[in-house]
Structure 1
Amino acid sequence: MKLLYSNILPLSVGDEEETIIDAFNSQAEKADRIDIAVGYVSRAALDELNELIEKNGISEISLNIGMYYIEGMPEGSYHTALRLNQKWQESGKGEIRLIKTFKYHGKVYVFYKNGIPFSAIIGSANLGVLKLEANNRRQYELSAITDSEQEVLEIAEHVNKLKAANISANIKDIVDVPLIQETNTALSGIDLVTEVPTTNVEFYKRCASYASFLLPLKVPSYNERHMDDGKHYTKSNVNVCYAAPRSKRKSRDWYETQLTVAKEITHLEGYPKKNVPFYIVTDDGYWFKAHTTSDGNKQFSAVGDELIMGRWLKGRLAATGLVNPVNDTQTDIDRTGMITREMLKEYGCENLYLKKTGQTAMDEEGNPLDVWMLSFKPTDDTEEGDK
């Protein structure tokens, strides 16, 4: 058994010492199968693991995650894990499982060749060791690697036991995983947007609804992303950023979004009047001024910055790992950054919910403006104040 280290100053590795990640990479190069059991993962580490598997031609992979079923799993890690699990299962490579029976805090990596385990790493390193980020860059880990046949077999047997049906299940088959909402940082530090305390958000959630509207999000399905059949899925509404650029030299910003509301909704009693500003408080704690504009009062947008609504809406989806922001929408030929119906379904919300709280707040000129709450919401969900 040989010790493996982190390389963090002032405790850097010596000439004869090896880092955990270097040992992992060297063993992966020799392996055709890897079995892993850890307590925690991260989005970046999951993607890095997938890249390492493809790079090294690994034909079998099993990842067992031990702490989230009981503690709750960050949305981003959950959706990334679901995506990779589907990819691995469809290709016949393997799966991702969640341990349900207890909180498993072990960190074990077993490497196989031709069906025989030949080495194992065990120690303090969760999967995040594969991809250092700001939150773990200064976190020192200590592990050990063994190629002792008896020790490796014992560790491999331990990991195999974790795959038993009475201990774990494939992540896609677990419907009650508690999810931890990720912070949408796309609005942090943006002019005209204020962050409000959770207590304020809860207050507005409890307010009775003086008027409320369910706003369906009009997006294409995955297979419709490239269609241009008159529906203009790629040129308007949530995905307006893929329309022709306003300038030949500059693509539209990925966060550019239009919320176009059907006249069947805008004509309902109580819907915000055209060009009359009001305040929005979002269900995740952001505050900004909004209004309704355009013919038929169909455009619902923030005042003063056309990217604010998109930063809120798309930023939420990006925080969960369902989509990645695109730097140049005109070069995104595959439409990887397009919001699709499948993304919204996986997020669990295909609608926005707009509720008039009955409260007012003064604007910068001392005028009282109505306060409305904007939320992501499933069709069958009910706000507390609506009951």
Structure 2
Amino acid sequence: MLSANPECGGVRFVWNPPPFHGNIYRIKYQNELLYFAGSSNFSKRGLFENLEFTCKITDLPTINQTEAYINWLLTDNISVNFDKCESFPIVKSVKANRKKINFLKVETKPIINSTIPYLDISLARVDRQQRSNLNAFFGKGRWNRKTGIVIPRDWFEVEIIVDVATTKNPIYPKGDFIAYTDDDLVFPCRTQGDYHKNFRSRDDLKILGHWIKGKLQQKGVLELFEPVTSQTLEEYGKNYIRMYKLSNYDYYLEF
């Protein structure tokens, strides 16, 4: 469905429900406080797939509500500015935990050429997976039935849900396999669940996450505890993992 606004001469794609990306901004300009709601990401997803807009807040009641909400968020019992933190144990814990991941280095790098079959595992749905897949950290934690305690997920924990069309490709791995990466690492992986659609690192879900998010961090497009979005992948330059089949149990991953 197309929606056109004659007053602004624009046309946008509309469907229900569209993913909405919203923020609140308070900007001080020439001793005046200005308030805006929404967001405007000038990317492929921002322009054509998400519901993106920015609206200046002008009516006084909404301005007062916005100001009160922002001030509430910034109170010390709700949030703490990084500048006021002498230490951040959670960040230190995650950084220390990352050092415990021991990747094996490839002794003999696989030779990849045009004769080796491959498929692409799409990550393009990441904006619709804000609490799963690459963003499992923001979803529900693990509930221990015996203790009733919910344990938060690690930021590096990922489990990619592959679309059914890709899982039906005869190249797609079924069960356990060894992954060799384009940066000379090797680690065990597994596909499981219906249609083997759950793609994960075996034994430790953080291993695959370290590889993917580590690359995003090295490129400078992702910071610790940030969600992975379509804009993250666009800035990285790739929104898929290419998987070459070396044998029934060996695959080469590019990202």
- Measured against the shorter chain, the TM-score band is 0.5 to 0.7
Match of 1:290, SS state, is strand
Match of 1:325, SS state, is coil
1:241 aligns with one of 120, 137, 146: 137
Letter of the structure 1 residue corresponding to residue 112 of structure 2:
K
Structure 2 match to 1:96: none
| Alignment of structure 1 residues 55-94 onto 2, 5 Å | none
Alignment of 1:269 with 2:170, yes or no, is: yes
Pair 206,189 (structure 1): closer, same or farther in 2 beyond 3 Å: farther
2:120 aligns with one of 205, 208, 214: 214
Contact 2:126 2:134 in 1 (8 A): no
1:190 aligns with one of 79, 90, 101: 101
1:220 and 1:290 mapped to 2: Cα distance? 21
1:282 aligns with one of 154, 178, 181: 181
Task: Give the TM-score taking structure 2 as reference length.
Answer: 0.55
1:339 aligns with one of 215, 228, 252: 228
1:244 and 1:371 mapped to 2: Cα distance? 33
| Alignment of structure 1 residues 75-224 onto 2, 5 Å | 190-191=101-102, 193-196=103-106, 200-201=108-109, 203-206=110-113, 208-209=115-116, 211-221=117-127
2:99 and 2:250 mapped to 1: Cα distance? 21
Q: CA deviation at 1:269?
A: 1.8
Contact 2:244 2:253 in 1 (8 A): yes
Match of 2:191, SS state, is strand
| Alignment of structure 1 residues 240-319 onto 2, 5 Å | 240-247=136-143, 248=149, 250-273=151-174, 275=175, 277-319=176-218
Match of 1:265, SS state, is helix
1:207 and 1:220 mapped to 2: Cα distance? 29
Q: CA deviation at 1:262?
A: 0.7
2:126 and 2:188 mapped to 1: Cα distance? 28
Q: CA deviation at 1:357?
A: 1.9
2:98 and 2:187 mapped to 1: Cα distance? 10
1:189 and 1:208 mapped to 2: Cα distance? 37
Letter of the structure 1 residue corresponding to residue 123 of structure 2:
L
Alignment of 1:320 with 2:209, yes or no, is: no
2:237 and 2:211 mapped to 1: Cα distance? 16
1:357 and 1:188 mapped to 2: Cα distance? 30
1:194 and 1:279 mapped to 2: Cα distance? 11
For structure 1, the residue ranges without an aligned partner over 5 or more in a row are: 1-185, 222-230, 327-336, 359-368, 377-387
2:192 and 2:150 mapped to 1: Cα distance? 28
Contact 1:215 1:261 in 2 (8 A): yes
Please, which moves more after superposition, 238-247 or 298-307?
238-247
Structure 1 match to 2:5: none
Match of 1:253, SS state, is coil
2:100 and 2:195 mapped to 1: Cα distance? 33
Q: How many residues align?
A: 155
2:209 and 2:126 mapped to 1: Cα distance? 17
Match of 1:205, SS state, is coil
Structure 2 match to 1:351: 240
Task: Give the TM-score taking structure 1 as reference length.
Answer: 0.37
Match of 2:235, SS state, is helix
Letter of the structure 2 residue corresponding to residue 234 of structure 1:
Q
Pair 293,259 (structure 1): closer, same or farther in 2 beyond 3 Å: same
List per-residue Cα deviations over 1:217-251 (Å, max 9, x = no partner): 14445xxxxxxxxx5x2222111111022255542
Q: CA deviation at 1:207?
A: 7.8
Alignment of 1:375 with 2:231, yes or no, is: no
For structure 2, the residue ranges without an aligned partner over 5 or more in a row are: 1-96, 144-148
Contact 1:208 1:357 in 2 (8 A): no
Q: CA deviation at 1:286?
A: 0.8
1:269 and 1:205 mapped to 2: Cα distance? 19
Structure 1 match to 2:58: none
Match of 1:244, SS state, is coil
Letter of the structure 2 residue corresponding to residue 204 of structure 1:
I
State which structure, 1 or 2, has the greater radius of gyration over its C-alpha atoms. Answer: 1
